[in-house]
Amino acid sequence: MAGLIGRKLGMTQLFNEDGMLVPVTLIQAGPCPVVQVKTDETDGYSAVQLGYGEVKEKHSTRAEVGHAARAELVAAPAVLREFRVADASGYAPGQQVTVEQFEVGQRVKVTGTTKGRGFQGVVKRHGFKGRPASHGHPASRTPGSLGPGTNPSRVIKGRKMAGQMGNKRHTTRNLRVERVDAERNLIFLRGSVPGARNATVLIRTQ
């Protein structure tokens, strides 16, 4: 089973069969056309290249348009992602992959880009406790001493410090499929998914 490319719509909640309120993330996934099929004989491994969305021809390069034309697509996909599969013989260029491949109760993993937080301090970035907050402490959110003074007289690499936070590729695993709406190409996953609203995410099996 190949994965699927989708767009995060946001979070909501629904009631499951037991009447429990479940927080879910709503993702509009697919339909994704198969743009290219890679096999062990031609490429040394088995994979399926899927596309998502469309780009106007004036905004596409000739290489992108030609690559999509081999799969008999009208326009070049806005997103191209490759998914490893055990056997790619069941796929063909131009074939549509939809959310119908997922079932309720199935466990999946979702990959996306986390929200960018900009330059943040150690309290927000790493969860430092901070200094005493009473009596007007002059540096209540600073990291404190960073490195040994005598030996080796420098800051050790990998020290948790202030810096860029977020805007990184992250994968959340073991998310349960709560509902699949094939008519509207929607999939409901229990829990949160990395990324902001309308962000592109990849859904794959465990």
130 inside domain: no
Residues 182-198, mean pLDDT to the nearest whole number: 95
Please report which confidence band the pLDDT of residue 147 belongs to, taking 50, 70 and 90 as the band edges: confident
Structure tokens at 138: 């002059």
pLDDT tens digits, one per residue of 20-44: 999 999 999 989 999 999 999 989 9
For 107, the domain range is 1-30+99-116+166-206
87 inside domain: yes
Please report which confidence band the pLDDT of residue 111 belongs to, taking 50, 70 and 90 as the band edges: very high
Residues 96-124, mean pLDDT to the nearest whole number: 95
202/173 same-domain check: yes
Predicted structure pTM score: 0.85
> What's the CA gap between 12 and 23, in Å, rounded?
6
Please report which confidence band the pLDDT of residue 90 belongs to, taking 50, 70 and 90 as the band edges: confident
Cis peptide preceding 31, ω within 30 of 0? yes
Question: CATH code at 70?
Answer: 3.30.160.810
190/106 same-domain check: yes
> What's the CA gap between 188 and 199, in Å, rounded?
16
8 inside domain: yes
